[in-house]
Structure 1
Amino acid sequence: MIIQSTRVWIDEKFQSAQLEIKDNKIVGIHEYNKYPVDTDYKDERILPGLLDIHAHGFNGMDSNYATADGLKHWIASLPKEGVTSFLVTTSTAPEANLLESYELISKVIDEKLPGATPLGIHVEGPQISFDFKGAHNPYLIQKPNVEQFKRYQEHAQNKIKLICIAPEMDENHELIKYCVNNNVKVTLGHTGAKYDECVQAMHDGARSFTHTFNGMLGVHHREPGSAGAALALDDMYAELICDGVHVHYAVAKTVVRAKGKDKLILVTDAVQIKGLKPGIYDMPGRWVEVKEDGCGRLKDGRLAGSSNKMITMLKNCIEHCDAEEVVAINAATKNPARFLGLDTKGEIKLNNDADVIVIDDTYQVIQTYINGNPVL
């Protein structure tokens, strides 16, 4: 199969090109109009598929209490917003529920269903700070524990790829070190860690910050805090929920400028309210009100996740944060892939997975290809 456009995102810029796809891979990148094509997208933009490494649920299903039907519906729906790969993210919940969910999520991943590819599991909580818990259940927060994580990973069939840890709660950073030594990426979040502790956590192997500015010690000119560390540490990635609600766009601009084209990661932090109409919902483990802005809030007004879409995060980053295209596009494609160590995703280049999307100038998704297969 060959598709083409006058605007294909290759080597961090738009170029006229043809993409030849065979056996799930990009096997050729040719001059525009060189060969007969299956689909000519003319001036529409072709990008690498978007990766959402921080998403909790969809249409009433919470990953903490996962169901097979809910997961399958989620996988099938994500390509509509340009997502070709994602991490199934859990949050603080009773261990028995998490272990049961990890087993089910692992089985569904192994089914290799059509739709967005679940790359593994992202654990966000309960290894976090009580003082910076956000919407996490305060009665279930626990100190990081290596033996507990081993139970998680056993039930997940080693599919946990990323974990969020408050480093100040992790004595001697034992869990951080264990995860790093066992090929699990570590992100710092829901944390009151001061700058120096974040630096030490980086030296011990942590490589990113969870939804920067949300659930972390803020910036002071004499104590940069966790948020200041996210901005200042050039070797660390930083997630950003770019919806203007979780982080004011004026502040989001500082994150965009600080992390640049190589270290910014856009995420949705979408929870089970995604796909639901505004209203009040009483779900397993959570009461939440869905507002007209698409964000969920607890009874006390605290933010409790979003119904964000990745293509909208990309659009917002460019239109509201003055980000150059290369910064925003990398943040939704190349950077999350590189952070997770995925060499065949996040870029349009020879021998990479044929995960690409076609969008118009209003950021509407026209087509999504996953492993070379059109899915819309």
Structure 2
Amino acid sequence: MTTARNRSAAPPRGTALVGARLVLPGGVVENGRLTVEGTTIAGLGGDRQPGDVDLTGFTVVPGFVDLHVHGGGGASYASGVAEEALRAARTHLEHGTTTTMASTVTGEIDEVCRQAAVLSELVEDGVLAGIHFEGPFISHNRCGAHRPDLLRDPDPTLVRKLVDAARGHARMVTLAPELPGGLESVRMLADLGVIAAVGHTDSDYVKTLEAIEAGATVATHLFNAMPGIQHRAPGPIVALLEDERVTVELINDGVHLHPSVLDLAYGTAGAERVALITDAMGAAGMGDGLYPLGPLQVRVENGVARLVEGGSIAGSTLTLDVSFQRSVTVNGLTLNQAVQSLSTVPARLLGLSDSIGSLEAGKNADLVVLDSDTYDLVAVMRRGEWIVGADRFTKAHAA
């Protein structure tokens, strides 16, 4: 990784970035020009001017949007400590995630409500885009890295309690629709404008279709923590892949999914229905060692996170810049397809397409600069401020 660490730096008003490959909604533009004014993208195109910042040899894509992330930098969103949440968000921001939705893990209902209150303040401060409750309303048989004794049926009253604790900032709830109260809770969430996601489920094909009809619109880390595809029992995976109303989350870290399985999902759903996520826990951006994940302990070895007790995969240590790089170099996605899955699709799902998710005039100046040959991350800008990598351009590449 070639990322330089430096303090945030705002470009001068009206600064233009020139010479880069720009990945725009209409296609890839070589030797492009993008103007940043304050916190927004002021325009695209135009002639090179004195003082423009030269990005020749680099590729610029919109900032990444992560729908599902539990922590990073040695910190967890489930800690209920604002300073930890800030550290986690900053870690992923330095790897290109300019919009983050914080994910909790299974815990006592009152404790998760307390965590939601802390995270809600960070949403109101503009640090986070919302809260995703993953658990406790999930299947014992597919609980993964969630503590079994704390799981609960998705009683609509309990689900509503969590949503209310987020003070209007709950964006998504993952649940197993086959459990008592599951379909009722899906309908309630849809009525409240909160995304109902099917995940950590033992549901069959028919029950999953019922959940989609009730209003479920997301598959939580598809393929993981759910029954596999059987030729006489297609299960939830086929139901979620085949319905155009459903956005499917995928973890492209080389651990959770074989590359051919990702290819299968893209071939069925298309990039316009795939959201690449990290599902990262506190070890993201850190080294091997022991880390907490809610009330459980996780051991990370060679970058792979597993529960100390039982050995189940426990989230990932992935960052979205690595996901982008793998998507293009391993899976062979086009740059536009990768941008769709890492920026455009999740922005649309969150209802934020008017301000993020693509490089267009009037949207936030949330940018990721990549090496055009290796796709290593070089710099990140959020709302017009360089987060990392500013020295690469303000000094070495000024035209």
| TM-score clears 0.5 | yes
Query: What corresponds to 2:212 in structure 1?
Result: 202
The share of aligned pairs that are identical, in percent, is 26
- Match status 1:220 vs 2:248: no
1:147 maps onto 2:162 in alignment = no
Is the 2:222–2:250 contact (alpha carbons within 8 Å) kept by the matching residues of 1?
yes
Displacement, 1:180?
1.1
Query: Aligned pair 1:30/2:48, yes or no?
Result: no
User: How far off its partner does 1:26 sit?
Assistant: 1.5
RMSD: 1.8
Partner of 1:105: 119
Task: Name the structure, 1 or 2, with higher relative contact order (CA <8 Å, separation 6+).
Answer: 2
3-state SS of the aligned residue for 1:311?
helix
Check whether the contact 2:81–2:118 (CA below 8 A) recurs between aligned residues: yes
Q: Which runs of 4+ in 1 moved over 4 A?
A: 281-284
Tell me the residue number matched to 2:384.
372
Distance in structure 2 (CA, Å) of the matches to 1:281 and 1:79: 21
Q: Does 1:358 find its partner at 2:369?
A: yes
Q: Deviations over 1:163-202 (max 9, x none)?
A: 1111111537111111111111121101111112222222
| Offset of residue 348 of structure 1 | 0.7
Match of 2:187 among 172, 177, 185: 177
- Counterparts of 2:194 and 2:219, CA distance in 1: 15
Q: Report if the CA contact (8 A) 1:189-1:209 is conserved.
A: yes
User: Shift of the alpha carbon at 1:325?
Assistant: 2.6
Identify the residue that residue 88 of structure 1 maps to in structure 2.
102
* 1:37 shift after superposition: 4.5
| Residue in structure 2 matching 1:250, options 260, 269, 272 | 260
267, 290, 305: which is aligned to 1:295?
305
How many residues are treated as equivalent by the alignment? 371
Q: In structure 1, which of residues 14, 18, 23 is the aligned counterpart of residue 33 of structure 2? A: 18
**Shift of the alpha carbon at 1:222?**
1.5
Using a 3 Å threshold, how does the CA distance of structure 1 residues 159 and 211 change in structure 2: closer, same or farther?
same
- Give per-residue Cα distances to partners, 1:182-234, cap 9 Å, x unaligned: 11112110111111222222222111101111001210111210112232223
Shift of the 38–70 alpha-carbon distance from structure 1 to 2, 3 Å rule, reads farther
How far apart are 1:246 and its partner, in Å?
0.9
| Mapped pair 1:345 → 2:356 | yes
Please tell me the residue identity of whatever aligns with 2:316.
S
| Larger displacement relative to structure 2 (276-285 or 74-83) | 276-285
SS of alignment partner, residue 106 of structure 1: helix
Change (3 A) 1:36 1:193: farther
Q: Confirm or deny: 8 A CA contact 2:24 2:336 kept in the other structure.
A: no
Question: Deviation at 1:281?
Answer: 4.2
Partner-residue secondary structure (3-state), 2:140: coil
1:130 maps onto 2:144 in alignment: no
SS in 1 for 2:256: coil
Q: Give the match for residue 121 of structure 1.
A: 131
Report the equivalent of 1:329: 339
Structure 2: gaps spanning 5 or more residues:
1-14, 389-399
* TM-score, L = length of structure 2: 0.88
Following the alignment from structure 2 to structure 1, what is the Cα–Cα distance between the partners of residues 345 and 153? 30
Which ranges of structure 1 fall in alignment gaps of 5 or more residues?
A: none
Residue 188 of structure 1: aligned partner:
198
The 2-side partners of 1:49 and 1:182 are apart by 28
Q: What is the DSSP-based 3-state SS (H/G/I as helix, E as strand, rest coil) of the residue aligned with 1:314?
A: helix
Q: CA deviation at 1:14?
A: 1.6
| 1:259-270 correspondence to structure 2 within 5 Å | 259-270=269-280
Contact 1:256-1:323 at 8 Å conserved across structures: no
- Greater Cα offset, 142-151 or 90-99: 142-151
State the alpha-carbon separation in 1 of the partners of residues 280 and 56 from structure 2: 33
The 1:5–1:197 alpha-carbon spacing in structure 2 relative to 1, beyond 3 Å, is farther
- Could you say what secondary structure the match of 1:176 adopts? helix
Asked whether the equivalents of residues 23 and 336 of structure 2 are also in contact (C-alpha less than 8 Å), the reply is: no
| Partner-residue secondary structure (3-state), 2:85 | helix
**Match of residue 172 from structure 2:** 162
Residues 62, 368 of structure 2: 8 Å contact kept: yes
Where does residue 310 of structure 1 map in the other structure?
Answer: 320
User: Which shifted more, 319-328 or 334-343?
Assistant: 319-328
Q: Which amino acid aligns with 1:346?
A: G
Q: Secondary structure at the match of 1:289?
A: strand
